Each structure stands twice: as structure tokens, then as C-alpha cells.
Amino acid sequence: MRFMLRSKIHKAIVNHADINYIGSITIDSALIEKAGFWPGEKVLVVDNTNGARLETYVIKGKKNSGIICMNGAAAHLIHIGDEIIIMGFELTNKKIKPKNILVNKKISL
């Protein structure tokens, strides 16, 4: 069994931060559905702007809002305006063709 990349949201721009929240990343529910993520799922977040990498879990944001919000301690590493990749993995014994969701810089949809 291996952990394989199942899906990723690529080139999303962080547009909110809430340092006082206990943790996680809030993602527009439309993007969650497109990527095949589940609320509460562990994801790897990579910051293309500053090189930070962290693991956290998904929180469902308002559908079609475009929200990408870093919460809690993660907001100290990944900031508003940063370009990120959000990746989900699957433990499997088969090869997987990952689903790639590319977003634009204006909004995250």
C-alpha cells in the first residue's frame, strides 16, 4: 500500500485568515466538491509564495464564495495573498490518476 496523490487544488489564492480559530483551512464547498475532498479530511497545503508546507484538515466554506481561509497557527505560515496548492492523498495498492483543479487569481472557482 502507498499514499498516492488523489486530487489537488492548484494556484488558489488565500483571501482570508483567522488566527484566533483553532485550526484548519476553510475552502469554498464548490471547490471541495470538485476536488473530491471531505470536510475533516487531512490535506497537505504548500505555499508557492514562501515555501511553507503544513498538514491540516478541511472545513467547508460557503458555496461559490471563493473563500480560501487559513485558520489558527497555519495563518502564521501562510498569508492572505499567497498562492497555494491543497493536496489530498489516498492509501491504495493501485495507481491513481490525480484530479487537478486549477483556479484563477481573481477568485478560487
CATH number of the domain residue 24 falls in: 2.40.40.20
Tens digits of pLDDT across the chain (109 residues): 999 999 999 999 999 999 999 879 999 999 999 999 999 999 999 999 999 999 999 999 999 999 999 999 999 999 999 999 999 999 999 999 999 999 975 544 4
Q: Which position among 7, 29, 57, 65 bears the catalytic label?
A: 57
Q: Which domain holds residue 69?
A: 2-96
16 lies in some domain: yes
| 57 counts as catalytic | yes
Domain count, the chain: 1
Residue at 101 is within a domain: no
In a domain, 109, yes or no: no
**Within-domain flag for 103:** no
- The string of DSSP letters for the chain reads -EEEEEEEEEEEE--EEETTS-SEEEEEHHHHHHHT--TT-EEEEEETTT--EEEEEEEEEPTTS--EEEETTHHHHS-TT-EEEEEEEEEESS----EEEE--SS---
Asked whether residue 8 is assigned to any structural domain, the reply reads yes
- Could you tell me if residue 102 is inside a domain? no
7 is catalytic: no
